[in-house]
């Protein structure tokens, strides 16, 4: 009898998960707040490449509050992020697997685009350089990397951006065997096509090694608020403040303005030599 009841319960759970709507258009406003819990951060020296060259580090993000607006239409996703120092627009074409990043800083309007293969190759080079540096310092490279995650659902609700959200804990197991838990509030009514979450480091071209909490893609709904631990004692809080799923989105939203000079990421590497690294979240990165 117990087995029969259990099977019915599981079937009901799977049926409920399958009924979540996947929306192919929406406009979402998100607030990201990053706070350092330590008194100060030492900025490390730029890493050195395999041939001894100094690596040019391009850093995105940092302490403080950042607001972003994410627009979704079919396979296209645009994220506009603005803070006191810069304006960044990321255009993602999920069908072509290309990400274009447009940056406005100090009056300059530049941009670059990268395929998923380009980003994977860059990540491998970054891993190799970090491994060499950490081994030289006697550190165990990537020992804190996430290897698996699981979700524990809690019977609590609260309203976020006018939507009734439920609570869950995402429990991450790391390479060194340690575990940590992140609280996530999610709306069980929908997911968005082509994106797992908004805010965080998602507005910086996908070059963050950890743009959101591992396991969010398996959540039974869309994440509306979560807290993410970063290195050097920093904590990032992401919260959706407004969402509109009724607004019609025009194709021109995803056009690249003509006053931007946009080049392939490979050209940027050639112009600046073999050493170019894009790092997220200020001096320490996102990991």
Percent of the chain at pLDDT above 90? Answer: 41
Residue 159 backbone phi and psi in degrees, to 5: -95, 130
Most confident of 16-20, 149-153, 203-207, 269-273: 149-153
Residue 122 to residue 205: CA distance in whole angstroms: 13
Residue 12 pLDDT greater than 90, yes or no: no
Residue 212's pLDDT is 63
> pTM of this prediction?
0.75
Domain spans, the chain: 21-38+46-284
The residue among 190 and 19 whose pLDDT is bigger is 190
User: Which range, of 12-16, 86-90, 247-251, averages the lowest pLDDT?
Assistant: 12-16
The DSSP-derived string for 95-147 is TTTEEEEEEEETTEEEEEEEEHHHHHHHHHHHHHHHHHHHHHTT--TTTT-EE
Determine the average pLDDT of the residues in 39-44.
45
Residue 238 to residue 28: CA distance in whole angstroms: 12
Number of C-beta neighbours around residue 230 at 10 A: 21
Please answer whether residues 123 and 209 qualify as being in contact, where contact means their C-beta atoms are separated by less than 8 angstroms.
yes
CATH architecture designation of domain 21-38+46-284 = Clam (2.50)
Residue 8's pLDDT is 34
Residue 84's pLDDT is 75
Distance of CA 223 to the CA centre of its chain: 12
Percent of the chain at pLDDT above 70? Answer: 67
Predicted confidence (pLDDT) per residue in 256-285, tens digit = 999 999 999 888 655 554 444 444 333 333
Mean pLDDT of the chain: 76
Q: What sign does the CA torsion over 170, 175, 179, 181 have? A: negative
Residue 38's pLDDT is 59
Residue 286's pLDDT is 36
Residue 16 pLDDT greater than 80, yes or no: no
Predicted confidence (pLDDT) per residue in 95-145, tens digit = 999 999 999 988 889 999 999 998 888 777 777 776 776 666 655 545 566
């Amino acid at each position: 009898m117990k087995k029969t009841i259990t099977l019915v319960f599981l079937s009901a759970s799977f049926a409920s998960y399958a009924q979540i709507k996947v929306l192919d258009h929406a406009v979402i406003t998100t607030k990201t707040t990053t706070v350092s819990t330590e008194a100060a951060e030492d900025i490390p020296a730029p890493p050195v490449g395999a041939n001894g060259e100094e690596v040019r580090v391009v850093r995105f993000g940092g302490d403080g509050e950042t607001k972003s607006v994410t627009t979704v239409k079919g396979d296209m996703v645009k994220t506009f992020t603005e803070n006191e120092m810069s304006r960044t627009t990321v255009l993602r074409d999920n069908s072509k697997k290309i990400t274009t990043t447009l940056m406005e800083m100090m009056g300059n309007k530049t941009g670059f685009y990268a395929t998923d293969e380009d980003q994977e190759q860059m990540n491998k080079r970054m891993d190799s350089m970090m491994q060499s540096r950490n081994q030289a310092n006697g550190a165990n490279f990537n020992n804190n990397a996430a290897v698996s995650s699981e979700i524990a659902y809690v019977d609590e609700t609260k309203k976020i951006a006018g939507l009734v959200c439920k609570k869950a804990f995402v429990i991450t197991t790391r390479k060194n065997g340690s575990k940590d838990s992140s609280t996530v509030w999610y709306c069980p009514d929908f997911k968005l096509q082509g994106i797992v979450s908004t805010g965080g480091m998602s507005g910086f071209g996908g070059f963050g090694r950890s743009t959101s909490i591992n396991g969010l893609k398996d959540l039974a709904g869309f994440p509306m608020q979560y807290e993410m631990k970063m290195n050097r004692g920093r904590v990032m809080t992401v919260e959706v403040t407004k969402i509109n799923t009724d607004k019609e989105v025009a194709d021109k939203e995803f056009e690249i303005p003509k006053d931007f000079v946009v080049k392939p990421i490979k050209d940027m590497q050639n112009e600046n030599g073999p050493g170019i690294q894009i790092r997220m979240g200020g001096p320490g990165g996102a990991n």
